[in-house]
Amino acid sequence: MGLSLRVRRRGGSGSKKEIIPVTSCSEEVEITVPSQFQCPISYELMKDPVIIASGITYDRENIEKWFESGYQTCPVTNTVLTSLEQIPNHTIRRMIQGWCGSSLGGGIERIPTPRVPVTSHQVSEICGRLSAATWRGDYAACSEMVRKLKMLGKESERNRKCVKENGAGLVLCVCLDAFSENANASILLEEIVSVLTWMLPIGSEGQTKLTTTSSFNRLVELLRNGDQNAAFVIKELLELNVAHVHALTKINGVEEAFLKSLNRDSTCVNSLTSIHHMILTNQETVSRFLELDLVNTTVEMLVDSENSVCEKALTVLNAICETKEGREKVRRNELVIPILVKKILKITEKKDLVSVMWKICKSGDGYEVEEALRLGAFKKLVVMLQVGCGEGTKEKVTELLKMMNKVMKMNGFVDRSDSSSIEFKHVKKPF
């Protein structure tokens, strides 16, 4: 039986009728919702009634949207409010719950008692207790307060916003830094990092605490152990300030930690983004990543990953190809040209793909150009020009076509553009 919910205005009275689905009959039952149970904004049955400073009761969700739109007035009286505080109207809520379960309510499902959102005062109290416990070095008390903040965030987006706006981010950063040299504090640090994922971005003072040598070392340790929340926090820090990139590259074993993260989770765009920032900033980092076989790891990610991962992996390869050492390493990988040709028309953002192909073809001995031709790159690049691309990419595509055209005139080539027949023998996963 199809059930529906419909609202229509009853002529002249200003109230409304709701047609509520009732499972005990095959027809819609017309039920009039008492006006005192309707939100004055939406004219719908209130689920979480609250009183504002004007004395008018609204449904919390609707009045919050009103305030978030910039209004500081009462929608009904239009008076300017001295406070935007919302106080739960327990009396109306209990009346609505009673009405829903009565015969007058037609057996409408009883509205559950809503969780009361956390207040600024409550968040400030928790942060104060966390700060005091941090100063004392009280691991157990810190763990308790961090768990409370985490639970508040899980309850609602409204709570997360309140927690974030009342300084919890900085307090958590201070706590993480204070326990960063405690070898037995891993569980607490994991909890802090998980909460910080919805606190970011944080202010400069909090960033300073997270990027001390000891704090950064612990974040990298969490990353090495497979904590993807740590990968996200590190990525966000690097995007906030290039100085954080320099600080990160000084940590022993950071490159190994990121490679381990990629090998564990080949869809980790956060780790790829961080690696990209590090490669662009520090030449020595490029050499260390190449020694750790980053090129082969990244190329294998291109085989069957989703487009967003492929595009980020290509960004990393493009940065590697900025160096002579990097270009030589990429050219030596037998899968690079076949995969690049395969992906030309399959990914949305083609700038880095074209740039990688252009760099290795231009710096190579001609083999790369011939290989690309045999695999059908010429036709696909022509299609790219016809469809349209950015000016810089267009110039590289044009130069690639000129290189290929020159090889065609000199040597001829065999067009194997059906690249679906290519065998990828050097990867762990089938193409």
In this predicted model, what pLDDT tens digit does every residue of 64-122 receive, in sequence order?
Answer: 899 989 999 999 999 999 998 888 999 999 999 888 877 565 557 777 777 778 888 99
pTM of the model: 0.74
Using alpha carbons only, what angle is made at residue 238 by residues 233 and 242, rounded to the nearest 5 degrees?
A: 160
Given a contact cutoff of 8 angstroms between Cβ atoms, the answer to whether 260 and 221 are in contact is no
Task: Report which DSSP code applies to 51.
Answer: E
Is the link from the previous residue into 201 a cis peptide, with omega within 30 of 0?
A: yes
Q: What CATH fold (topology level) applies to the domain 35-103?
A: Herpes Virus-1 (3.30.40)
pLDDT tens, 306-349? 888 999 999 999 999 999 999 999 999 999 999 999 999 888 89
- Answer positive or negative: Cα dihedral of 418, 419, 424, 429: negative
- What residue type is 128 in one-letter code? G
- Answer positive or negative: Cα dihedral of 111, 112, 113, 119: negative
Residue 159 has pLDDT above 60, yes or no: yes
What is the predicted pLDDT for the residue at 385? 87
Q: What's the distance, CA 56 to chain centroid? A: 39
Going from the C-alpha of 354 to that of each of 265, 269, 417, the distances in angstroms are 26, 20, 18
